Structure 1
């Protein structure tokens, strides 16, 4: 296949979407497909061709995420690029102006079109004082995805939510995890000694420290647990606009900033439980990374957690939006770490069922099917927009 892969974010930007997109692009290229990466130029880059399989649009900072950028491109410019690369299918990884232009260009050329639904941007609006705009944002997302033949959704809860909101042509496609990079084998007693954990339970949170991630609830959970276990520890990995405020408000927690590679692997495996209080994620890759590392997870019954966690078997679930239930759930980790051995084993076993190769292969097969179906769509004269 000859694929144009459209994304607003890509490494060295560090977030779950960027890392996931990179893995997909690498896999498809490794399978012999031509993947033309279309993305915004980052601050140190200039728009235009950036190699045989990469094209950079102009970019502007995203208002609520100034370290990230959205792309700007004209439809004629994208038509020329798609023609020059002889593209058969356009895949939209993230929504935005660049995605809209790519959709219009693809439909003008009658190419196969697919998309991912990775982020509840309409829910994000409420965390930034823009709740009145949420219906407009949702309507825009629905219209964008409606123009693609297939929208891949990562979890059953996200699928149900979108179907109920009028999104069409949905296909459930889960996520995978590298079970060697994230494994109990990385557990490090020297790191636990650095945390002064001893035999005390260590709670962990990994993710962007931003309003829509609901991080403060995890920190409040540790405060509550500390009343029963004053020796318990709270480790926070990640960075974001709320970091300074949270560090000041919760001095007992240890904020490590962004970790990568083996340092992140050791951190996961050296903790005893994972807290994931987000209500805005469509999946939450960190949930699967934590489970692969042998950590029982406490989360709300949404996104990946709802699909993966069996309460009291490999973790714990709270009803979505019930903060009290989440806080009370943290008290289950007051026992010594040795008491979690069965939970840890079961969490790891669950993660082992979600290998990257199988998920990526299923995605590849779905794209190939769309390419095969396109001649039929052309025969039906699907109108362009």
Structure 2
């Protein structure tokens, strides 16, 4: 099976979407599926307003069509709702080709945080984008239920995984006062980092990541340590050196970083919102509380072994298998309609 994934998010970006697609494709090979990508690397790009480190592709319809036809895919999956995703969607609709999509990012909340555009308008646009999809893949049951409640159809679960070989417990010392409270992710307004940085906590607050809000947050919170963006073993070591992983976001649809922290043996402190609730639920590997400081202190008492054991159940092979199964089931469900039309 050849699957072409169209995505506006790609390397060198460092985010959950890119990591999910990359690791899923690698695991899918072992399941007999060949996953290739249509990405911004094939087009000219421009910097995204308010995100100068992120670049948006400027694709043309003819070039998109040629790349799809060269790939000769059996199935097409559209991972993002950006310029590439829009043109691949148009290609499929004009040729009456089935496709699947996935919902990764809460754009309505992100847009409303930066502009006066009502969330309802953005949700309406997203419904239209995904309306013709044979399967709209969502990472968690709560997100799937929310999408159905907002008028999305054909919603399917697509769980995430974690590389437990890369992210694992180890004895490390950053030379900072302990306990170390760590947050990892894009340093931007929608990540709600101020809710973490403003807490009165013992020890040291550490932020790994980069983004448009970094300079302002560094100025306002000089006692926090900002390490910038990290990948690979450097990132894994940063996790392992922490005592608690703090996830202040209220809008993330999943939070892959939660699994990375848990695989490193680091308990989670977060607000009781859909992302963290879906990842850890009632399992005692984190503390979810509207009092984030209380959650941070409570997480210090959690067993690191329990965190590791929890993460071991979330593999990229299971993620890839769910992705492939969703596509297979979508095509199977489509077959009666094709026969009826014939």
The normalised TM-score by structure 2 is: 0.91
> How far is 1:131 from its partner?
3.8
Aligned counterparts, 1:1-385, within 5 A: 1-29=1-29, 31-41=31-41, 56-128=42-114, 130-184=115-169, 186-188=170-172, 191-192=173-174, 194-195=175-176, 197=177, 200-221=178-199, 224-225=200-201, 229=202, 232-310=203-281, 313-318=284-289, 322=290, 325-332=291-298, 340=301, 342-381=302-341
Q: Structure 1: any 5+ residue segments left out of the alignment?
A: 42-55
- When the two structures are aligned, how many residues end up with a matched partner? 342
Work out the CA distance in 2 between the residues paired with 1:208 and 1:86: 35
* Structure number with bigger Rg: 1
Work out the CA distance in 1 between the residues paired with 2:55 and 2:336: 37
- After superposition, the Cα gap between the structure-2 partners of 1:25 and 1:15, relative to the gap in structure 1 and judged at 3 Å, is same
Instruction: Name the Cα RMSD after superposition.
Output: 2.3
Q: Structure 2: any 5+ residue segments left out of the alignment?
A: none
Work out the CA distance in 2 between the residues paired with 1:214 and 1:244: 15
Work out the CA distance in 2 between the residues paired with 1:216 and 1:352: 31
Post-superposition CA distance 1:57-108 (Å, at most 9, x none): 4433322323223334344543444334333221011112221221121123
Post-superposition CA distance 1:219-246 (Å, at most 9, x none): 112xx12xxx3xx111111111111111
Work out the CA distance in 2 between the residues paired with 1:304 and 1:349: 20
Work out the CA distance in 1 between the residues paired with 2:16 and 2:248: 16
| Contact in 1 for aligned 2:28/2:321 (Cα 8 Å) | no
| Contact in 2 for aligned 1:79/1:106 (Cα 8 Å) | no
The normalised TM-score by structure 1 is: 0.82
| Contact in 2 for aligned 1:299/1:316 (Cα 8 Å) | yes
SS state at 2:117 partner: helix
- After superposition, the Cα gap between the structure-2 partners of 1:345 and 1:27, relative to the gap in structure 1 and judged at 3 Å, is closer
Post-superposition CA distance 1:319-346 (Å, at most 9, x none): xxx4xx223323435xxx6xx3x43222
SS state at 1:67 partner: strand
- After superposition, the Cα gap between the structure-2 partners of 1:131 and 1:358, relative to the gap in structure 1 and judged at 3 Å, is same
- After superposition, the Cα gap between the structure-2 partners of 1:310 and 1:83, relative to the gap in structure 1 and judged at 3 Å, is closer
> How far is 1:170 from its partner?
0.6
SS state at 2:137 partner: strand
- After superposition, the Cα gap between the structure-2 partners of 1:299 and 1:87, relative to the gap in structure 1 and judged at 3 Å, is same
> How far is 1:164 from its partner?
1.6
| Contact in 2 for aligned 1:76/1:105 (Cα 8 Å) | no
| Contact in 1 for aligned 2:24/2:317 (Cα 8 Å) | no
Work out the CA distance in 1 between the residues paired with 2:246 and 2:198: 11
| Contact in 1 for aligned 2:180/2:243 (Cα 8 Å) | yes
- After superposition, the Cα gap between the structure-2 partners of 1:239 and 1:138, relative to the gap in structure 1 and judged at 3 Å, is same
Work out the CA distance in 2 between the residues paired with 1:70 and 1:169: 28
Work out the CA distance in 2 between the residues paired with 1:33 and 1:140: 32
> How far is 1:311 from its partner?
5.3
